[in-house]
Amino acid sequence: MGFKEVFLFACVLGAASAQTYRVCVSSLQTGATCSSLSRDDSQVTCAIQESRIDCALRLAAGQADFGVFSEEETLLLSQMQPNDNRVIASIRDATRLDNSSFEAVAVVPSNHTNGLEGLRGGVYCHPGFDSTEQRWSPRVLRNLEELAARTDRCPNVDLAGRTAEELEVETLNGFFSSACRPGRWSRNETVDAALKSRYPSLCARCGPNPTCSGYTIDMGVAVAGASITNRHIQALECLRTNVNASAAVAYVAWQHVREYFNFRNPQDIPNFSLLCPDGSLVALSAAVLSNSVSPCAFIRQPWGALVASTANADAVLASLRTWWPGGIKPTTNTWQTTLYEVLAPGENTRVVFQDAPISVLNYTSSIRTISPAESTSSCLPAVRWCTISTLEQTKCNWIRAAAHILGIQPTISCQQRNTPLDCLMDTRDNQTDFLAIPSNYGYLARQHFQLTPVKLVQNERADASRIAAFVKESSVLTSNITRFENLRDKVACFPEYGGLAYVSFVRAGQERGILSSTECDYARIVGEFFGGACAPGAIDASHALSQSDFNASVLCTACRPTVPIVGSENASVCTYNYNTNMYFGNNGSLACLSDPNSDVAFLNTRNISAYLTSLNLNETNFRALCRNNTLAASTGINIDDGCLLAYVVDAEVVTRRNDPLYNALNTLLDSLGGYFGYLSENRNQLINLEIFSPLNGAKDLLFKDSTIGLTEPTTVSPHEPARNYMELIRHLQACTGTAPPIPGLASHVFSHSIVILLIMGFMTRFVIY
Ligand SMILES: *[C@@H]1O[C@H](CO)[C@@H](O)[C@H](O)[C@H]1NC(C)=O
Ligand SMILES: *[C@@H]1O[C@H](CO)[C@@H](O)[C@H](O)[C@H]1NC(C)=O
Ligand SMILES: *[C@@H]1O[C@H](CO)[C@@H](O)[C@H](O)[C@H]1NC(C)=O
Ligand SMILES: *[C@@H]1O[C@H](CO)[C@@H](O)[C@H](O)[C@H]1NC(C)=O
Ligand SMILES: *[C@@H]1O[C@H](CO)[C@@H](O)[C@H](O)[C@H]1NC(C)=O
Ligand SMILES: *[C@@H]1O[C@H](CO)[C@@H](O)[C@H](O)[C@H]1NC(C)=O
Ligand SMILES: *[C@@H]1O[C@H](CO)[C@@H](O)[C@H](O)[C@H]1NC(C)=O
Ligand SMILES: *[C@@H]1O[C@H](CO)[C@@H](O)[C@H](O)[C@H]1NC(C)=O
Ligand SMILES: *[C@@H]1O[C@H](CO)[C@@H](O)[C@H](O)[C@H]1NC(C)=O
Ligand SMILES: *[C@@H]1O[C@H](CO)[C@@H](O)[C@H](O)[C@H]1NC(C)=O
Ligand SMILES: *[C@@H]1O[C@H](CO)[C@@H](O)[C@H](O)[C@H]1NC(C)=O
Ligand SMILES: *[C@@H]1O[C@H](CO)[C@@H](O)[C@H](O)[C@H]1NC(C)=O
């Protein structure tokens, strides 16, 4: 038993005794934490969670009793599970015990007129999109400018090819005369740099030689209580130095307004007012500034909270009051202290108990409400993510809501279909917009469905697709097969027609000169070379790669039905599912190779050793034929990268070619990767949702779990399997010989494939590998 198992075991034992509560603990916490939580007469046990979304789902299902959620997560829960669980306490800063963790306010010169519209043509001083101290989401950071400049509306603007960031910054540039709005305007560096150079006036007020990476204004002497390196204090100084502009505003946290005027610039108090969301002004005064609660705020933020399952909320709340009297960290070295450190970390933290448990919606709605995505206006239409299962749809809806809460644009909508091929078809037909597909379908997506990649995934080395050719050792010996040429008229096994292994062989064959490099009918070129083959799907309209008069049934002679037909043992089948075609898919190809009639298989070597064992096959029966046309020195499946026919990413995100939303989707994916991918350090994540990880234990939803990030679909990507993949595709698409590609709107082909897909949808389950 590993360490983790040991303490999990301990947790299970603990759960058997009465009066213990299961507390959500992040899987990033060490095992020592859980052991420490369980010691002595502990009344809690660890319920390890991959993410806090998992915790919320477990609470709602009664599989955990309580856990902690961040500020933005309480807002997410109030949309996704408004009444499922109960807030029992908030986690506050002991130095600021008010009801909200921050208040975003607008400070203007006292002679300001005409409300929000009065800001037009004025100076805008902003703490910055890279300011981390306040944990402001993009939605918070943009709230004032959205209301004042109406960045959510783009009348008479051609949206084609535009990104959400571009539309927003363009509107701001037309509204404010100049600004300092530091930090990243887009998660996409190219887009960010282009906007910074196109709209320099939005950085002009950052100080001398503005680069927009922060303020360079002279902050004068430091004063205790108002840090001169704080972005909010700097934004207020920006406002003060622009007080003579026709209009000016600083959008900052109330806490820092108080610091700035009380400690640093009390003489300026009479010259400034708060601009309220309704357009009214409240003059600043010593009295106003002595109050820790602002007279009016654009946004007030609920504190992070302890949330319990509804069933146990009363009991957990009563227990917590006894474990942590006064909501203060116990000074003893006990499990109660460890629990406090896990749930309410930090120096100045204070837990404020609710009088009674309340729903998450009730908890947030008295402080901040965010209208749901579907009733929020924005310039760009929602992009439609195609999902293929209820679980994927659930994960998509969480991502959609989380992105909306944070203010990531454009909005996402989630569209459920049955299979990846349904999604490819509906994406082609503008019924959905994008999805991640296995790279196995990459060539098909391009040729048959006219789609294009918007991102490739990145994989760990061990998870990328590794395509190799294996010749049966007996064929090597009896037929003297040492080179690709020797495979002519032999029998070959492929996981699927047009799949990654299939097209990798086409490339290797063309590179080695054994397949014509001017023949672009990839059914004919392979079908005429081998004496027989199993390439499931070869005769199916849904897999057609080109308009061809070649009879592709020769590509299925080696496939065998899963349930043999008595009396016709050699009868072949060409379906592309495990239920009916025994040799379909990667594992099927291995089984196919072990058929006495076959000689060579092209397949993905990832995870095949387990399948070899289950098929009772001995890897010494196979020998790799390398891409450089030499046989591997020894038999077996462990081959070096140089021998592979392809070493490429295992998935990519595809959308329509030349779609007007292509760029907006591209930068949306950059944002999703930034906020919900592995790039974001977990501790600083505003919402702990992991798009590349399982949701509530369900694997491979929307993205395979093997995904570690996204990368650009170019041959200069820094990720080797991505470069290799683009080179493979480039090779295949460079062929412009005899076979015309399937035209974009050949409706008879499509309706045919729709019928086939409908039928197949009932008969089969598509299996991705
Ligand atoms: C803070 O919240 C509590 C409980 O909801 C309420 O009674 C109190 O009036 C609030 N305080 C302020 C200053 O809004
Ligand atoms: C603004 O103008 C007034 C007089 O109109 C002047 O006294 C003051 O110094 C100016 N302030 C700044 C920051 O330029
Ligand atoms: C406010 O006063 C300053 C200087 O006193 C002036 O430059 C500015 O135009 C005035 N703003 C408005 C909106 O009247
Ligand atoms: C600041 O306020 C004082 C007193 O109300 C006023 O005399 C002065 O002109 C104001 N300065 C600016 C720059 O508005
Ligand atoms: C939520 O608030 C409503 C209206 O104030 C109240 O009727 C309801 O009981 C509350 N529910 C919970 C679970 O807090
Ligand atoms: C695709 O569908 C959307 C939503 O129905 C529509 O607004 C858009 O114009 C369509 N695009 C094309 C190119 O037809
Ligand atoms: C196998 O082929 C090689 C070269 O193609 C040839 O030199 C060798 O004699 C052949 N061996 C047999 C047993 O046919
Ligand atoms: C293709 O060939 C197979 C076997 O030779 C034959 O049964 C089938 O009718 C042919 N299909 C077409 C469309 O010619
Ligand atoms: C199946 O194929 C094998 C080898 O090609 C052959 O010997 C056998 O007679 C065939 N069986 C049937 C039922 O056609
Ligand atoms: C595979 O075959 C080799 C040589 O024939 C033998 O040494 C080895 O033990 C076999 N492995 C398994 C797992 O059967
Ligand atoms: C071919 O590739 C294999 C695998 O990388 C390597 O071991 C072998 O030396 C290469 N042979 C030639 C002739 O380049
Ligand atoms: C940024 O977005 C553009 C499209 O707007 C895209 O071409 C580019 O690949 C994206 N990524 C990076 C890193 O620039």
Q: What angle do CA 71, 74, 79 make, to 5 degrees?
A: 140
Residue 243, C-beta contacts closer than 8 angstroms, at least 6 positions apart: 109, 271
Ligand lying closest to the C-alpha of residue 294: 1
**What is the residue whose two structure tokens read 């654009």?**
298
Helix axes 662-676, 390-406, angle to 10 degrees: 90
User: Atom 1 of ligand 5 has which residue's CA nearest to it?
Assistant: 362
Q: Which residue's alpha carbon is at the smallest distance from atom 9 of ligand 3? A: 246
Tokens of 429: 């037909």
Q: Cβ(620) to ligand 10 under 6 A?
A: yes
CA 752/CA 745 separation, integer angstroms: 13
Provide the token pair at 560.
Answer: 């065998």
**Closest atom of ligand 3 to CA, residue 244:** 7
- Is residue 744 over pLDDT 60? no
Report the nearest atom of ligand 2 relative to the CA of 241: 13
Torsion of CA 439, 445, 446, 450, to 10 degrees: -160
Sequence ranges of the chain with CATH classification 3.40.190.10:
3-96+303-365, 100-300, 389-462+649-766, 465-640
Reading the block at residue 408, the tokens are 């990531």
- How does residue 566 score in pLDDT terms, banded at 50, 70 and 90? confident
Q: Which ligand is nearest to the CA of 242?
A: 2
pLDDT bracket for residue 616 (50, 70, 90): confident
Q: What φ, ψ does residue 274 adopt, rounded to 5°?
A: -90, 135
Do the Cβ atoms of 719 and 456 come closer than 8 Å?
yes
Are the C-beta atoms of 445 and 655 separated by less than 8 Å?
Answer: no
- The answer to whether the Cα torsion of 64, 67, 73, 78 is positive or negative is positive
pLDDT at 765 exceeding the cut of 60: no
- Is pLDDT of 767 > 90? no
Q: Are 239 and 250 in contact (CB under 8 A)?
A: yes
What mean pLDDT comes out for the span 738-743? 55
In angstroms, the CA 224 to CA 215 distance is 20
Q: Contact, 327 vs 358, CB < 8 A?
A: no
| Per-residue model confidence (pLDDT) at position 679 | 64
Query: pLDDT band at 617, cuts 50/70/90?
Result: confident
Distance 625 CA to ligand 10 centre (A): 21
Which range has the worst mean pLDDT, 255-269, 298-312, 665-679? 665-679
At 12, is the pLDDT very low, low, confident or very high (cuts 50, 70, 90)? Answer: very low
Of 112, 240, 268, 271, the residue with max ligand 4 atoms within 8 A of its CB, to mutate for a pocket test, comes to 271
Q: What is the pLDDT of residue 2?
A: 46
pLDDT of residue 741: 57
Q: Is the Cβ–Cβ distance between 25 and 342 less than 8 Å?
A: yes
**Whose structure tokens read 């008229």?**
489
How do residues 651-707 score in pLDDT, each as one tens digit? 999 999 999 999 999 999 999 999 999 865 545 789 999 999 999 999 999 999 999
- The single-letter DSSP state of residue 226 is B
**CB burial class (10 A; 0-12, 13-18, 19+) of residue 292?**
middle
Bridge-partner residues for 306, per DSSP? Answer: 68, 89
Q: Please state, in angstroms and rounded to a whole number, the distance separating the CA atoms of residues 336 and 761.
A: 54
Residue type, 492: A
Q: Among 35-49, 188-202, 352-366, 724-738, which is the least confidently predicted range?
A: 724-738
| Token duo for residue 698 | 């369900």
Q: What pLDDT does 498 receive?
A: 96
Q: What is the pLDDT of residue 743?
A: 54
Q: Crossing angle, helix 662-676 and helix 164-175, to 10 degrees?
A: 100
User: Does the C-beta of 658 come closer than 6 Å to ligand 9?
Assistant: no
* Ligand 7 center–CA 645 separation, angstroms: 24
Paired tokens of 103: 């208040």
- Rounded to the nearest angstrom, the distance between the alpha carbon of 664 and the centre of ligand 12 is 10
Residue at 510: amino acid letter: Q
What is the rounded average pLDDT for all residues in the chain?
A: 91
| Ligand 7 centroid to residue 482 C-alpha, Å | 9
How many Cα atoms within 13 Å fall on the side-chain side of residue 311? 10
Q: What are phi and psi of 221, to 5 degrees?
A: -80, 150
Bridge-partner residues for 108, per DSSP? 273
Amino acid at 193: A
**What is the band of 738 on the pLDDT scale with cuts at 50, 70, 90?**
low
Ligand 5 mean position to 360 CA, how many Å? 10
At CA 161, angle to CA 726 and CA 387, rounded to 5?
65
φ and ψ of 520, to 5 deg: -105, 5
Q: Which atom of ligand 1 is nearest to the CA of 98?
A: 13
Architecture of the 100-300 domain: 3-Layer(aba) Sandwich (3.40)
Contacts of 355 (CB under 8 A, 6+ apart): none
Averaged pLDDT for residues 623-628: 95
CATH of the domain spanning 3-96+303-365: 3.40.190.10
- Whether 359 is in the pocket of ligand 5, judged by its Cβ within 6 Å, is yes
Chain-centroid distance of CA 684 in Å reads: 16
Say which range, 228-237, 266-275, 756-765, has the weakest mean pLDDT. 756-765
Residue 328 has which token pair?
């203060």
- pLDDT value at position 681? 53
Task: Please state, in angstroms and rounded to a whole number, the distance separating the CA atoms of residues 431 and 617.
Answer: 45
- According to the model, what pLDDT value does residue 607 have? 85
CA distance 397 to 384: 11
Ligand 5: which of 83, 86, 361, 362 to mutate, judged by most atoms within 8 Å of the beta carbon?
Answer: 362
Q: Does domain 465-640 have CATH number 3.40.190.10?
A: yes
Ligand 3 pocket, residue 428 CB under 6 Å: no
Q: Do the beta carbons of residue 484 and residue 468 sit within 8 Å? A: no
Residues near 19 by Cβ (< 8 Å), separated by ≥ 6? 43
Q: Is 390 in the pocket of ligand 10 (CB under 6 A)?
A: no
Which amino acid type is present at position 397? N
Q: Is the dihedral of CA 200, 205, 209, 210 positive or negative?
A: negative
Q: Is the CB of 293 under 6 A from ligand 1?
A: yes
- Fold of the domain spanning 389-462+649-766: D-Maltodextrin-Binding Protein; domain 2 (3.40.190)
Nearest-angstrom CA–CA distance, 663 and 159: 10
Alpha carbon of 149 to ligand 6 centroid (Å): 28
Do residues 81 and 362 touch, judged by C-beta distance below 8 A?
no
pLDDT beyond 70 at 527: yes
Give Cα 161 to chain centroid, integer Å.
Answer: 22
Ligand 9 atom 2, closest CA:
570
